[in-house]
Chains A and B, each alone.
Chain A
Amino acid sequence: MARTAESASVCILDYGSGNVQSVFNLVSTITPSAQVSNDPEAIRAASHLILPGVGAFGASMAKIRARIPLDVVEDVALKQGRPLLGICVGFQVMASVGFEFGEHQGLGWLGGSVRRLEAGTLPLPHVGWNDIRVERDSPLLTGIRPAEDFYFVHSFVVTPADPSDVVATTEYGESFVAMASRGNLHGVQFHPEKSQRAGRRLFENFLALA
C-alpha cells in the first residue's frame, strides 16, 4: 500500500547528538507525528526511524550503546524491515568498523568501514555545500536534481561492504560515498536537515517509503 509522507509516524533516536532538534524541526513540517525518543514503545510504534549524528565515531557509538535500545531498533529495522535513515555519523555507525581516534566497532548493518577523507590539500573538515553524483536510482532522490547541492560537515567517510549499495557520491579531494541504501536501510553523509528545499524533499521521499 502506498504511503504518504504526511501519514508517517517518525521516531528520531536521541543519543545526545547536537542536530536532533534541527532534524525534528524539519520533519515536523512534513508529518504531525514526529517525536524524539529512545522509548522501546515509541520505536516499535513508529513507521520510520531516523538516526541523526554529529561528532566522532567512537564517542557516538558509546552513547548509542548506552542510550538506545539496539535490540528493539534491530528488531524493527532489520527483522521487520521498517525504513531507517542514518544521517552523517548516524550513517557512519551503520558500518562494521570505524577508524576515527582508534578502531571502533560499528553497528555493522551495512558492513564496510569508516576512514578519514583523503582531501589532499583541501582543508578538513569538509564543510559546506557540495553537489552529489547519482550512481544509481533511488526512491529517496525522486524530484531532486541529478547534481543537487547538499550541506556537508564531516572529516570521515563510509565505504560500504557492497559497492552496489552506493547511491550517490561527492567529490572533495577524492570521490566519496554521499548516500547509500541497502534494502530498507538508508544513509546520507550530508545533512538534509540543513539543506533547505532539497533536504526537505529527501525527508519527504524517505517518509513516503512503505
Chain B
Amino acid sequence: MKKERLIPVLLLRNGFLVQSKGFKKWQNLGNPTSSVARLSEWASDELIYLDISRDGAHDLRRDDLGHPNRGTFLEIIQDVARVTFMPITVGGRIRTLEHIEQRLRCGADKVALNTQPLRDPSFLDLAAREFGAQCLVASMDVKLIDGQYEVMADGGTERTGLSPVEWARTVEGRGAGEILLNSIDRDGMRTGYDIPLLQQVSDAVRIPVIACGGVGEWNHLTEALDQTQVDAVAVANLLHFVDQSVYLAKKYLFEHGCNVRPPDLLGAVQP
C-alpha cells in the first residue's frame, strides 16, 4: 500500500536557512546544505526546499547581484541532490517554464508553484503538458480574513479573493499533481495544523494534499492524518532544534498506527 509521508520543509532566505513565524519574522539557522544531509540520514520521505527570498526594497541592489544570487539557489539544489537520495521539491520565484527546467536539471524532482499560477492559471496547463503532473506541486498560502479562508499571493502579502477549495479544484483541473497547503496564521505558532482548512481542501480534490504550518508537537501530525484526507504532513521549524527529529517524528507516527514507512536511522551515504 502507498504510504503517507513525513516531509521536512526547508526555507531559504537570501542564502541562509531560516525559521519563519507568521510569514513576517525569520530566524537565521545557517548553512543550507549540511541540514539536508542530516535530514536525509534521519529518514525523511521527501524534502521540500523553498526559496523565500523577497523582491522589493532591495531590488536594485539585488539586480546587480541578481545572477550570483539566483545561481546560488540553483547551486544549492545541485549540492542537495548530491548528498540526498530522495525526492526533492523546489519552490520560490518560479515564473517561467525555463525556471522549472533549470531546477529539474539541477536535480529537483518536482517544483512548487505558488504566485505564478495565481497570476496566470494557464501556466499550470503549460507546465503540466511540458513536464507532467507528477512534477507540479501547487503551493497555496491561506489566511483567515474576517472569518473566511482566502488564498494569498506573493509570499502571503497579496489578497486574491479566492477560497482555498475553489483554487484547489482549479489547480487540480489544470494539471497540478499535488497541493502544498500552508496556513499563514499557524506558521511558526506551534499550536497545530489548521484542521478545518485541511479538511475542506483534502475533501475537495483527489490529488494528494500536503499539510503545512503550525506543528508544535508530534501529535499534531497524527491529528492531521487521522482527522483529514491529507496524504502527507510537512514540518519546518520544529525539525531544526531536535536531535534526530525526523526519526523521532516518524517513530511517533509508526507507533500510532499511521501508514508510514518504518522509522529507520539511515547510515550516511558519502558522496
Residues of A within 8 A of B (CB): 18-19, 21-22, 25-26, 28-29, 55, 121-123, 125-131, 149, 151, 153, 171-172, 193-197, 199-200
Contacts and interface: CB of A to CB of B under 8 A. Distances in A.
B5 interface: yes
A171 B269 CA distance: 29
Interface size class of B (residues with CB under 8 A): 20 to 34
Given A25-B81, A151-B87, A194-B86, A123 B208 contact: yes
Nearest to B207: A123
Contacts of B26: none
Contacts of A199: 85
B271 A128 contact: no
A200 B85 contact: yes
A153 B2 CA distance: 12
B180 interface: no
B82 A194 contact: no
Q: Is chain A's interface secondary structure helix, strand, loop, or mixed overall?
A: mixed
Interface in B148-183: 177-178
A154 B7 CA distance: 20
Given A28-B271, A29-B269, A129-B261, A196 B40 contact: yes
Interface string B1-28: 1110100000000000000000000000
Contacts of A153: 87, 109, 134
Contact of B81 (A21, A123, A128): A21
A195 B109 CA distance: 13
B132 A125 contact: yes
A129 B132 contact: no
Contact of B104 (A18, A29, A131, A195): A18
